[in-house]
Amino acid sequence: MSHKVVLVGPQGAAPDIGAVLAEHGVHGPVALVRAGYQEREPDDAEMIGWLGVPAVNLVLHRRSVELFREDTEFTTAYQARQQRLRHMQTFYRVRLEKIDDAGRTVSVRYVEPELLDQEEKVSVDQFRHLDADHIDRCDALRAAFELQWRHAERPVVARHRAEIAETLHTVDALVIAGGHVASLLNRLALFDVLALARAAGKPVFAWSAGAMVLTDRIVLFHDYPPYGSDIAQVLDAGFKLVPGLVVLPDPRRRVNLDARIGIQRFARRMAPATCVAMDHGDRVVFENGEIVRASAARLTTTGDVEKGWNGEPSRFSTPYMRGMME
Helices (H), the chain: 17-23, 45-51, 60-70, 72-107, 113-149, 155-168, 181-190, 193-199, 209-212, 251-254, 260-270, 319-325
Mean pLDDT, rounded, for 39-49: 95
**Three-state secondary structure along 78-113?**
HHHHHHHHHHHHHHHHHHHHHHHHHHHHHHCCCCCH
Tens digit of each residue's pLDDT (9 = 90 or more) over 131-155: 999 999 999 999 999 999 999 999 9
* Cis previous bond, 15, omega within 30: no
Check residue 2 and give its pLDDT: 62
Check residue 300 and give its pLDDT: 95
The rounded distance, in Å, linking the Cα atoms of 19 and 264 is 34
pLDDT > 90: percent of the chain: 79
Q: 324 pLDDT band (50/70/90 cuts)?
A: very low
Phi-psi sector, 289: left (phi>0), alpha (psi -120 to 50), beta = left
Q: 224 pLDDT band (50/70/90 cuts)?
A: confident
The rounded distance, in Å, linking the Cα atoms of 266 and 188 is 28
Q: 40 pLDDT band (50/70/90 cuts)?
A: very high
The rounded distance, in Å, linking the Cα atoms of 287 and 116 is 42
Residue 177: phi, psi to the nearest 5? Answer: -85, -175
Mean pLDDT, rounded, for 177-200: 97
Check residue 314 and give its pLDDT: 55
111 or 239, higher pLDDT:
239
The rounded distance, in Å, linking the Cα atoms of 237 and 267 is 18
Check residue 36 and give its pLDDT: 96
How many CB atoms within 10 Å of residue 126? 18
CATH-assigned architecture of domain 4-325: 3-Layer(aba) Sandwich (3.40)
Check residue 316 and give its pLDDT: 43
The rounded distance, in Å, linking the Cα atoms of 101 and 112 is 21
Q: What average pLDDT does the chain have? A: 91
Tens digit of each residue's pLDDT (9 = 90 or more) over 3-17: 899 999 999 878 999
The rounded distance, in Å, linking the Cα atoms of 59 and 74 is 20
Strand 217-220 relative to strand 55-57, pairing: unpaired
DSSP assigned state of 313: P
The rounded distance, in Å, linking the Cα atoms of 239 and 261 is 30
| CB-count burial class (<10 Å; 0-12, 13-18, 19+) for 157 | buried
Q: Which residues contact 304 (CB under 8 A, 6 or more apart)?
A: 260, 263
